[in-house]
Amino acid sequence: MRADRLLSLLLCLQSRGRMTARQLADELEVSVRTVYRDLEALAAAGVPVVANGGPGGGCRLMDGWRSPLLGISAEEATALLAVSAGGPLARLGLGDALSQARLKLVASLPPAGRAATQAAAARFHIDTQAWFRPPELVPYLAELVDAVRGDRRLRLTHRRADGRTTKKTVDPLGLVAKAGVWYLVARSRDGIRAHRAARITGVERLSDGFARPGDFDLAQFWSRWTTEFEASLDQLPVTVRLTTEALAALPAVLGDTTSAAHATPDPEDGWHRLTLHFDSPLAARRRLLGFGPEVEVLEPADVRADLAQTARRIADRYGH
């Protein structure tokens, strides 16, 4: 892969200016001797490389020379640099490619605006990981990536949410990372579905490939699927009254950033009324208990009775 290394060496010099041979060797993970050989190769190819020894010396490109890379504006470079800070791409094995792309972006800018663009991009950071939760372990992520990129059919063993295990043959169409959770979007005899990748417990790569649907768009599918998925959940309305402090804590406890806006005043000062939605009575109990006495369920009656019984059991537990 010497051609890639020579390009990386050229981009380092173009984007960073003067660098010592040792700095270049550390950056490219090669020996100093290899750096000098690569510099000679660049010079032989017509790249005006200047190397000076001694204190204050180093390697640089001749002043005013730039490689014929595609031009890009400072605003475009700032936007791309700001949104390309690793994250899910690193887990896909594209971290090195991302580093090279960032280097090319910086190198394509005029020297006068290079530092300002890098400084502007450094003021923005996108963190795709959810709060209080480490990234899910996906044992077969590398195999899924290979199959998606190569259009290779797979035989999956998948653990369902209820604990049952199923096997199916799928055509992997894409991977989506949402708040630290990976999903495999795949086509099978059941149609195109999204599968939580962490629940895939076995992957067998089959010998045959597949033809991707010509009209399939991953982003459009994901937008439609998430809308339908969210609509299928939270079908149980639960009316509660809660304190001002509990209302403010809704985003942290429930991950709910919109319901608080629909709260109405309760007759008791400092309290509010609100209707929340849950998947089931069990989900309502488990999530509302996190508020302690700052939330009271008004209806439905079975959820109110369930929380009351659970509260008594907790009190009995701690009363012994």
Tens digits of per-residue pLDDT, 180-203?
Answer: 889 999 999 999 999 999 999 999
> Distance between CA atoms of 96 and 168, rounded to whole angstroms?
33
Which of 77-86, 211-220, 249-258 is least confident? 77-86
Q: Do residues 173 and 147 make contact, with C-beta atoms less than 8 angstroms apart?
A: no
> Distance between CA atoms of 5 and 31, rounded to whole angstroms?
12
Q: Do residues 265 and 303 make contact, with C-beta atoms less than 8 angstroms apart?
A: no
Q: Kindly give the interhelix angle for 95-107 and 2-16, rounded to the nearest 10 degrees.
A: 40
Q: Do residues 133 and 180 make contact, with C-beta atoms less than 8 angstroms apart?
A: yes
Which of 128-132, 214-218, 226-230, 315-319 is least confident? 128-132
Better-scored residue on pLDDT, 223 or 162: 223
> Distance between CA atoms of 307 and 198, rounded to whole angstroms?
32
Give CA 192 to chain center in angstroms.
22
Better-scored residue on pLDDT, 319 or 154: 154
Q: What is the pLDDT of residue 70?
A: 46
Write down the mean pLDDT value for the chain: 83
Q: Is the pLDDT of residue 138 over 50?
A: yes
Q: Do residues 229 and 279 make contact, with C-beta atoms less than 8 angstroms apart?
A: no
Residue 183 makes CB contacts below 8 A (sequence gap 6+) with: 175, 176, 177, 194, 195, 196, 197
- Enter the pTM of the model: 0.58
Q: Is the pLDDT of residue 69 over 60?
A: no
Q: Is the pLDDT of residue 216 over 90?
A: yes
Q: What is the pLDDT of residue 320?
A: 60
Closest CA to 171 of 229, 226, 216, 136: 216
